[in-house]
Each structure stands twice: as structure tokens, then as C-alpha cells.
Amino acid sequence: MSRRDVIIVGGGAAGFFAAINIAEKNPSLKVTLLERGKEGLQKVKVSGGGRCNITHAEFIPQELIKNYPRGEKELLGPFHQFMSGDTMEWFEKRGVPLKIEEDGRMFPISDSSQTIIDCFLSEAKKHKVEILYNHALKSIQKDDDWILQTSQGDFTAKKIVIATGSNPKIWNLLQDLSHTIIQPVPSLFTFDIKDERIKNIPGVVAPNIEVRVKETDLQSEGPLLITHVGMSAPAILKLSAFGAIELAKRGYKFEIEINFIKQSYEDCLNELKELKQVLAKKTVSKSAQFDLPKRLWHQLVLASQISDEIRWADLNKNHLEALASQLTKAIFHVDGKSTFKEEFVTAGGVDLKEINFKTFESKLHKHLFFAGEVINVDAVTGGFNFQNAWTGAYIVSQNI
């Protein structure tokens, strides 16, 4: 049996960040990272479309936590210890400058996730972290020390960090250690919608809409993207994250109501009546209003039974009411979900009630720590999921 001081299980974002920081702070400790794959950091590699959206330019903890459907309350304290600004500083100090994009997402200036991987590999080497690839954890036992059985032999360690992401096998092992696992469901997905109004306009973006799921309290706002199979972009992705559990219960079949212009039906109707006077001789379908993209406007006009040749002056009461409805309370039937390829996560994991958020240590077992997606924390898209990994891993490192 091979003995180590600290073993980190899982060579992903959280595992590497924990291992490097532990080794850097405690050069005398023998720190080993076990990774089941022949390489680590595979999600980092593909993250953010290969650019790695590493964190988000939100520097107020109270605001930052609002992006976590699961973990909001628990992460407030941890973010006071290590958050986006610290992430930025950490990487910049190690030769990886970051940039902030218009929507707040932060990426390495290189626009390549490989820069992050190279940084982690060189830092791990510098601080003498032992990385053992092709070592899959098979069982965890507690004696005086922890005993870890892997696909390539057994190890003991005084302290262990579980950073295996969303892995059901590890959740089963943790259940055997009496931890409660909140059942996993997907988060961050796009909505499948078959509807005449959006069938022929993939790629169209409505810049700022409001959307709510009928018969629930779920609602969100932001940009909307029409895709080949339905709808995506932050307005939808936020709903998928905050509604992950509720929408799974409904088998991903539900109705949404969209307000494309963020105005009340009444205000919209009044504005349309004014436009009828002002634009009298113009063709309705060709004169897009409310800053809507032309192709979307055209489809909403057609859905209001206003044919292509009709001019504003020809609109009757029914037309005006139908158009106001399409603009402010259009109903769409969602029938399934699709993967959002830039980022996806799993809701569920180790119950947050069983973790001490001052240390990220298990409340049930001393010297058992967690970091990253293995715990029941997940976030909306934008770099917040990695921030959870960095924060947890950093705090673990401080407490080891």
C-alpha cells in the first residue's frame, strides 16, 4: 500500500486547482492527484467552445451568488474568501492574463483553453504534484487514514479531496460513507420547439425578451436565439438552470410565454394603434418595430393573420390585438431539450447540508474534502461553474 499525505481524486478543474494550491502552500507534503483518464482537464479543454470561459466579471459576492440555482446561500461565505477577482489575480500572477468580454464573461487573452491547461501542468510540475493518470478510484474506506483502492493499486492518505465532478459511481461510494446524494438532473440545456413562427429563421436573435414557464414561478429575461431545433441563449439557459428540477419532473414538456418587447399588452396595443396612423401607407410585414429583427417581426405578423400585402391603415381591431398578443404573450410548446454545446452541467450531488462551507470539509468525516461539481452546486452559463470549482478548491487548499 502506497502512502501519501494528501490525495486529490479527479484531475479536472477543481482537482488541479486544489492540488496546485495545496502543494504550493505546503511544500513538505506529498501531494498526489489520481485521474482515471489517460489525460486530465478534458472539460477545461472543450469549455467555452475551446476558449475556456474561466470566470465572470462580477465582483460583488452578493451579486455573484445569484447565478447559482443550487449553492446560492452556501457560496456567499466562500466567495468572500475567494471569488472572480482572486481568480483573475491567480491566473495573471502565473502568466495567464484574462480579458473581459462585453457580457462579463472572462477568457484567457489567448482565446484558447490550452493556455489554462499548460498553466496547470507547469504549476503542478513546479510544485511537485504527483499526477497518476489511468488511476480510477474504486473504493474508499476509513481506518486511521483513508484507504483508496484504485484500478492500479491501493493508496493511503491522511487527507483526501474528492473532485470527481458529476460521476454517479463516486456518488455511490460517498453514499456508502453515509453522505446524502441529491439525485442528478441535467442543467443548462436549450428548448426543443417545433413551431411555424420560428421554423425558417434559425440564427435570429431577439436582444432582450422576458420568458416564463406557464403554471410555474419560473421566469427569466435576456437575449433569445432561434436555433434549428428551438430556442437558446441566456434567457432560455437561465430558465433551464433555475428550472432544472421542475422541468425534469415535467419530462421537458411544457408551455412558455414570451414577451418579445418587454412591454405590457395594453401599452403595446396603444403603440400599435399610433403606428397605424403614423405608418398608414407602409406594409406591416416589412416595417419591423420595437427593435425586433426583421425576420422575427415578419413571422409574428404572419402569425397574427396579417398577410404580406396588408398595410398599417388596413389593420382592424382583431389584427391589432392579435399582433399585440404575439409581441407580448406568445405561447410556444416546448417538447424536449437539447445539449447546449458551449457549457453544460449537472444539478445534484453531495447534499450541501453535509458540507462545512468554511473549509469544504465533510461534516460527517474529518479529513474528507470536496471541490467542484461533485457537490450539489451548479450555475447558469457565463463562467460561474468554473468559479465554483476554483473557490472550493482554493478553500480546501487553505484548510489542508
Ligand X SMILES: Cc1cc2nc3c(=O)[nH]c(=O)nc-3n(C[C@H](O)[C@H](O)[C@H](O)COP(=O)(O)OP(=O)(O)OC[C@H]3O[C@@H](n4cnc5c(N)ncnc54)[C@H](O)[C@@H]3O)c2cc1C
Find the shortest distance in angstroms from Cβ 384 to ligand X.
6
For ligand X, give the closer residue by CB, 43 or 298: 43
Q: Report the b/e string of 283-307 with b at 16+ CB within 10 A.
A: ebbeebbbebbebbbbbbbbbbebe
Q: How far is the CB of 55 from ligand X (least distance, A)?
A: 7
Nearer to ligand X (CB atom), residue 186 or residue 222 = 186
Output 6 or 170, the one with its CB closest to ligand X.
170
Give the residue at shortest CB distance from ligand X: 12
> From its phi and psi, is residue 159 left (phi > 0), alpha (psi between -120 and 50) or beta?
beta
Nearer to ligand X (CB atom), residue 254 or residue 394: 394
Between 209 and 374, whose beta carbon lies closer to ligand X? Answer: 374
Minimum Å gap between C-beta 335 and ligand X is 24
Question: For residue 18, what are the CA distances in angstroms to 22, 27, 32?
Answer: 6, 14, 11
Cα–Cα distance measured from residue 217 to residue 219, given in angstroms and rounded to the nearest whole number:
6
- Find the shortest distance in angstroms from Cβ 148 to ligand X: 9
SS (H, E, C) 375-397: ECCECCCCCHHHHHHHHHHHHHH
For ligand X, which is the closer residue by CB, 9 or 256? 9
Binding site for ligand X (CB under 6 A): 9-15, 34-37, 40, 42-43, 46-48, 52-53, 136-137, 163-165, 167, 169-170, 342-345, 372-374, 383-386, 389
User: Smallest distance, Å, CB 293 to ligand X?
Assistant: 27
Q: Which is nearer to ligand X, 23 or 320 (CB)?
A: 23
Cβ atoms 45, 114 nearer than 8 A? yes
The answer to whether 240 touches 256, Cβ cutoff 8 Å, is no
Secondary structure class of 168 (helix, strand, coil): helix
Rounded to a whole number of angstroms, the minimum distance from the CB of residue 21 to ligand X is 14
Minimum gap (Å) between residue 42 Cβ and ligand X: 6
Which residue number, 32 or 47, has a Cβ lying nearer to ligand X? Answer: 47
Residue type, 29: L
Least distance (Å) between residue 280 CB and ligand X: 50
Paired with 332 in beta bridges are 256
**Interatomic CA distance for residues 369 and 198, integer angstroms:** 47
Q: What is the separation of C-alpha 199 from the centre of its chain, rounded to a whole number of angstroms?
A: 27
Residue number, 186 or 230, with CB nearest to ligand X: 186
CB of 393 to ligand X, least distance (A): 8
Task: Identify which of residues 35 and 354 has a Cβ nearer to ligand X in the complex.
Answer: 35
Least Å distance, CB 309 to ligand X, is 47
In the complex, least distance from residue 360 CB atom to ligand X, rounded to whole angstroms: 12
Q: Number of helices (H) and strands (E), helices first, in the chain? A: 14, 21
Cα separation of 56 and 101, whole Å? 9
d(CA 167, CA 237): 23
Distance between CA atoms of residues 197 and 209, nearest Å: 16
Distance CA 315, CA 289 (A): 15
Q: At 304, give phi and psi (nearest 5°).
A: -95, 15
Q: Is residue 144 classed exposed, middle or buried when 0-12, 13-18 and 19+ CB atoms within 10 A define those classes?
A: exposed
Cβ–Cβ contacts within 10 Å for residue 218, how many? 18
What is d(CA 318, CA 340) in angstroms, rounded to the nearest whole number? 39
Nearer to ligand X, 157 or 300 (CB): 157
